[in-house]
Amino acid sequence: MFDLQKKIGLDFSDEIEKSLKDVLKVNPDNPTANFNLCLYYLNTDRDLSKYYLRKCLQSPITKKDAEDLLYKIESIESYDRAVDLIKQQQYKQALNILIPLIEQEPQNLNAIYYTAICYRNLNLYEKALYYLNMLKNKPERPEVLVEIGLNLASLMYFEDVLEYFKKALKLKPDDSTIISNIGVCYYYLGQANKAKEAFELSLRLNNSDEITKKLLEIIKED
């Protein structure tokens, strides 16, 4: 039924669930039925999915697949907890989750990115840049380029910052925040006219940005 559902696009969810549970009524330890019920609930009820998955650990037929999938689920849950902690501004607690996760999964680009965010918010800019450097050879993402720029700006390297913000702007040409950040760079580099142009362009794209409005007022006063 799983295969047929994928091929013809019809929804057999109820029939799949009922069939698998009918098997378990006869044989509660059936590894294949338990594993498929785990897959069935994977995207809708993670706790229930793990319940069936743990039953699969007892059978040599499904043990290896169950261990691999359980590890992946727990990694996702750890990552989700870290992101929630970042939203609550609990950066040190988030790092306690993210760093071991990166050690286990060196290619987890999102975990690396959020680790850098934690370090920037803890004012540890060099450490943030260390992790962001791991992402530089990957496909360019504007948010990564902006993060590099923000950390370099905190270290007062405004010429380098400008380079990264301009790269980010090529990927998101209508991003008012990036344009405003470019204006800040020009301001600190003593190029007031270019800063003014950037702030005005940013406000044309987003007239509700109060910070950019204040920056523009400062430029005009100077």
Distances 111 to 69, 106, 143, 176 between C-alpha atoms, Å = 19, 9, 14, 26
Are 209 and 183 in contact, with CB atoms under 8 Å apart? no
**What is the per-residue pLDDT across 163-189, written as a single tens digit (0 to 9) for each?**
999 999 999 999 999 999 999 999 999
**What is the per-residue pLDDT across 82-109, written as a single tens digit (0 to 9) for each?**
999 999 999 999 999 999 999 999 999 9
Q: In this structure, what is the dihedral angle of CA atoms 134, 98, 157, 154, given to the nearest 10 degrees?
A: 170
**Is 156 part of any domain?**
yes
- Number of structural domains, the chain? 1
In this structure, of 53-57, 107-111, 137-141, 144-148, the range with the lowest mean pLDDT score is 137-141
Confidence of residue 2 (pLDDT cuts 50, 70, 90): low
**Is 40 part of any domain?**
no
Confidence of residue 203 (pLDDT cuts 50, 70, 90): very high
**Is 176 part of any domain?**
yes
**Is 106 part of any domain?**
no
Q: If you average pLDDT over residues 102-117, what whole number do you get?
A: 94
Q: Is the pLDDT of residue 56 over 80?
A: yes
Assign residue 123 a region (left: φ > 0; alpha: ψ between -120 and 50; beta: otherwise): left
What CATH number does residue 191 fall under? 1.25.40.10
**Is 171 part of any domain?**
yes
Are 172 and 142 in contact, with CB atoms under 8 Å apart? yes
**Is 108 part of any domain?**
no
Instruction: Tell me what pLDDT residue 219 has.
Output: 87
**Is 163 part of any domain?**
yes
Q: How many other β-carbons are positioned within 10 Å of the β-carbon of residue 22?
A: 10
What is d(CA 14, CA 21) in angstroms, rounded to the nearest whole number?
Answer: 11
Residue 39: burial class (beta carbons within 10 Å; 0-12, 13-18, 19+): middle
Residue position matching structure tokens 């950019």? 212
Residue 178's domain spans which residues? 143-222
Instruction: Give the rounded percent of residues in the chain with a pLDDT score beyond 70.
Output: 94
What is d(CA 63, CA 154) in angstroms, rounded to the nearest whole number?
Answer: 50
What is d(CA 168, CA 123) in angstroms, rounded to the nearest whole number?
Answer: 22
Give this prediction's pTM.
0.79
Confidence of residue 44 (pLDDT cuts 50, 70, 90): confident
